[in-house]
Homo-oligomer: A and B are copies of this chain.
Amino acid sequence: MVTALETLIEALKRLPGVGQKSAQRMAYHLLQHDRDGAARLSLALRAAAEQIGHCRRCHTFSETEICSICADVSRDPALLCVVESPADQAALERTNSYRGYYFVLLGRVSPLDGVGTAQIGAAELLLRAAETGVAEVILACSFTAEGEATAHVLGEALRSRGIRATRLARGVPVGSELEYVDLGTIAHALVDRR
């Protein structure tokens, strides 16, 4: 018989970075010391799954059809920044040094995992980049092997359509995920984009 406790431990193991031991510790902690926290987390998970979809325009997480950034007419329509994930987008936003719009890939090209350009919305990006007013697409993919491959493929496609495509300057440490880079480095790399 699978108990409610075992079911909870299995469900916690679906979280990234959580193995058997951590999941067990989390479950015991919630049951023994923080039942209110367990209830809150249960509701928050359900609400998030129900309410959070993707912006129709830039694909980032959004509770509205068009996200607040895409809906912000005070931004610079000449710049379109391509990032791999909403987390990377959030990191760029926190630098306060970018005022254009975004396109969120929700992934990166990874042939071994069966992720090609179709899965990251390359066609939608090309349509978006071809809109009147877009002068430059900044490819802010991570400087990992897969991120570089993604930027390369997208850069080629954009340039073949006559759209200027740039890359963040290599101030960003090679091999690192953008999300974990300090804000000053990101801001500097943004200015030095090439």
Residues of A within 8 A of B (CB): 3-5, 7-8, 10-12, 14-17, 21-22, 24-32, 34-35, 37-49, 51-52, 61, 63, 85-87, 90, 106, 179-180
A47 touches B87 (CB 8 A): no
Find chain B residues with CB under 8 A from A45 CB.
8, 11, 30, 38-39, 41-42, 45
Find chain B residues with CB under 8 A from A12 CB.
41, 44
The DSSP consensus for interface residues of chain A is helix
> Which of B15, B24, B90 meets A30, CB within 8 Å?
B15
* A-B residue pairs in contact (CB < 8 Å), sample of 25: A5-B48, A5-B52, A5-B63, A7-B47, A7-B48, A10-B44, A11-B37, A11-B40, A12-B41, A14-B37, A16-B29, A17-B25, A25-B179, A28-B61, A28-B85, A28-B86, A30-B49, A31-B49, A31-B52, A32-B61, A32-B85, A38-B49, A39-B45, A39-B49, A41-B45
Which 3 A-B pairs give the minimum distances between C-beta atoms? A14-B37, A42-B45, A11-B44
Bound CA span A10–B43, Å = 12
Find chain B residues with CB under 8 A from A46 CB.
39, 42
Bound CA span A41–B4, Å = 11
* Residue of B whose beta carbon sits closest to that of A25: B16
Given known contacts A12-B41, A14-B41, A16-B26, A4 and B85 CB-to-CB distance under 8 angstroms = no
